[in-house]
Amino acid sequence: MNTLLWTLLGLFVLRVAGQAMVAFFGVTWLPPMERWYSGLIPYEILLPAQIAIIVLMAKICSDFTRQWGFFVQPRRFFATYWLWFAWTYLAAMIVRFIIQGPTIPVFFHWVLAAFMITVGLWHRARVPA
Protein backbone atom coordinates (compact mmCIF):
# COMPACT_ATOMS: atom_id res chain seq x y z
CA MET A 1 0.00 0.00 0.00
CA ASN A 2 2.81 2.42 0.86
CA THR A 3 4.43 1.77 -2.50
CA LEU A 4 1.17 2.46 -4.33
CA LEU A 5 0.54 5.73 -2.48
CA TRP A 6 4.11 6.96 -3.00
CA THR A 7 3.96 5.98 -6.70
CA LEU A 8 0.72 7.88 -7.21
CA LEU A 9 2.22 10.89 -5.43
CA GLY A 10 5.33 10.64 -7.63
CA LEU A 11 3.21 10.58 -10.78
CA PHE A 12 1.33 13.68 -9.67
CA VAL A 13 4.57 15.48 -8.80
CA LEU A 14 5.91 14.69 -12.27
CA ARG A 15 2.73 16.10 -13.81
CA VAL A 16 2.97 19.35 -11.86
CA ALA A 17 6.70 19.65 -12.55
CA GLY A 18 6.23 18.94 -16.26
CA GLN A 19 3.53 21.56 -16.62
CA ALA A 20 5.61 24.10 -14.69
CA MET A 21 8.65 23.41 -16.88
CA VAL A 22 6.56 24.10 -19.98
CA ALA A 23 4.91 27.18 -18.46
CA PHE A 24 7.99 28.85 -17.00
CA PHE A 25 10.93 27.53 -18.99
CA GLY A 26 9.41 26.88 -22.40
CA VAL A 27 10.61 23.27 -22.43
CA THR A 28 9.95 21.96 -25.93
CA TRP A 29 10.52 18.23 -25.40
CA LEU A 30 7.32 18.00 -23.35
CA PRO A 31 3.79 18.51 -24.72
CA PRO A 32 2.77 22.16 -25.17
CA MET A 33 0.85 24.00 -22.44
CA GLU A 34 -2.55 23.54 -24.09
CA ARG A 35 -2.17 19.76 -23.68
CA TRP A 36 -1.42 20.08 -19.93
CA TYR A 37 -4.00 22.66 -19.08
CA SER A 38 -7.77 22.82 -19.58
CA GLY A 39 -7.92 26.52 -18.69
CA LEU A 40 -10.79 26.13 -16.23
CA ILE A 41 -8.71 27.62 -13.41
CA PRO A 42 -6.10 30.32 -14.06
CA TYR A 43 -2.63 28.78 -13.81
CA GLU A 44 -1.69 31.37 -11.16
CA ILE A 45 -4.30 29.70 -8.92
CA LEU A 46 -3.91 26.15 -10.21
CA LEU A 47 -0.19 25.81 -9.46
CA PRO A 48 -0.45 26.75 -5.75
CA ALA A 49 -3.47 24.44 -5.44
CA GLN A 50 -1.46 21.61 -7.00
CA ILE A 51 1.41 22.27 -4.60
CA ALA A 52 -1.03 22.17 -1.66
CA ILE A 53 -2.35 18.83 -2.94
CA ILE A 54 1.22 17.51 -3.15
CA VAL A 55 1.90 18.58 0.45
CA LEU A 56 -1.29 16.87 1.64
CA MET A 57 -0.51 13.70 -0.33
CA ALA A 58 3.04 13.67 1.09
CA LYS A 59 1.65 13.96 4.64
CA ILE A 60 -0.72 11.07 3.98
CA CYS A 61 2.09 8.96 2.49
CA SER A 62 4.34 9.78 5.41
CA ASP A 63 1.67 8.78 7.94
CA PHE A 64 1.12 5.47 6.15
CA THR A 65 4.85 4.79 5.93
CA ARG A 66 5.38 5.50 9.62
CA GLN A 67 2.05 3.88 10.59
CA TRP A 68 1.54 6.85 12.84
CA GLY A 69 -0.38 10.10 12.46
CA PHE A 70 -3.77 11.54 11.66
CA PHE A 71 -4.29 9.69 8.38
CA VAL A 72 -3.66 6.18 9.72
CA GLN A 73 -6.06 6.35 12.62
CA PRO A 74 -9.17 4.57 11.30
CA ARG A 75 -11.81 7.21 10.68
CA ARG A 76 -15.39 6.82 9.53
CA PHE A 77 -15.06 10.05 7.49
CA PHE A 78 -12.44 8.49 5.21
CA ALA A 79 -14.31 5.18 5.07
CA THR A 80 -17.54 6.84 3.94
CA TYR A 81 -17.60 10.47 2.76
CA TRP A 82 -14.02 10.62 1.44
CA LEU A 83 -14.49 7.29 -0.36
CA TRP A 84 -17.88 8.30 -1.75
CA PHE A 85 -16.36 11.55 -3.09
CA ALA A 86 -13.39 9.66 -4.58
CA TRP A 87 -15.62 7.21 -6.49
CA THR A 88 -17.82 10.10 -7.70
CA TYR A 89 -14.73 12.04 -8.75
CA LEU A 90 -13.42 9.02 -10.68
CA ALA A 91 -16.80 8.52 -12.37
CA ALA A 92 -16.87 12.18 -13.42
CA MET A 93 -13.38 11.87 -14.89
CA ILE A 94 -14.41 8.74 -16.79
CA VAL A 95 -17.31 10.71 -18.28
CA ARG A 96 -14.89 13.53 -19.11
CA PHE A 97 -12.63 11.00 -20.84
CA ILE A 98 -15.57 9.71 -22.88
CA ILE A 99 -16.50 13.27 -23.92
CA GLN A 100 -13.02 14.78 -24.43
CA GLY A 101 -10.91 11.74 -25.15
CA PRO A 102 -7.52 11.07 -23.57
CA THR A 103 -5.87 14.17 -22.12
CA ILE A 104 -3.07 14.76 -19.65
CA PRO A 105 -5.40 16.38 -17.08
CA VAL A 106 -7.89 13.49 -17.21
CA PHE A 107 -5.16 10.88 -16.67
CA PHE A 108 -3.84 12.73 -13.63
CA HIS A 109 -7.33 13.20 -12.20
CA TRP A 110 -7.48 9.40 -12.33
CA VAL A 111 -4.21 9.32 -10.41
CA LEU A 112 -5.66 11.58 -7.71
CA ALA A 113 -8.88 9.55 -7.57
CA ALA A 114 -6.87 6.31 -7.24
CA PHE A 115 -4.92 7.84 -4.35
CA MET A 116 -8.12 8.86 -2.59
CA ILE A 117 -9.79 5.49 -3.21
CA THR A 118 -6.76 3.64 -1.85
CA VAL A 119 -6.82 5.67 1.37
CA GLY A 120 -10.60 5.33 1.68
CA LEU A 121 -10.58 1.56 1.20
CA TRP A 122 -7.85 1.22 3.83
CA HIS A 123 -10.05 3.09 6.31
CA ARG A 124 -13.18 1.16 5.31
CA ALA A 125 -11.40 -2.12 6.10
CA ARG A 126 -10.53 -0.86 9.59
CA VAL A 127 -13.53 1.14 10.77
CA PRO A 128 -15.98 -0.94 12.82
CA ALA A 129 -19.34 -1.40 11.08
pLDDT, tens digit, 9 for 90 and up, residues 29-44: 999 999 998 888 999 9
pLDDT at 39: 81
Helices (H), 1-129: 2-25, 33-36, 43-66, 76-77, 83-100, 104-126
The pTM of this model reads 0.95
Domain spans in the chain, listed from the N-terminal domain onward: 2-126
What average pLDDT is seen over the chain? 96
| pLDDT tens readout for residues 46-55 | 999 999 999 9
How far apart CA 121 and CA 82 sit, in angstroms, is 10
How do residues 72-84 score in pLDDT, each as one tens digit? 999 999 999 999 9
Task: Note the pLDDT of residue 90.
Answer: 98
DSSP string, 96-119: HHHHH-S-HHHHHHHHHHHHHHHH
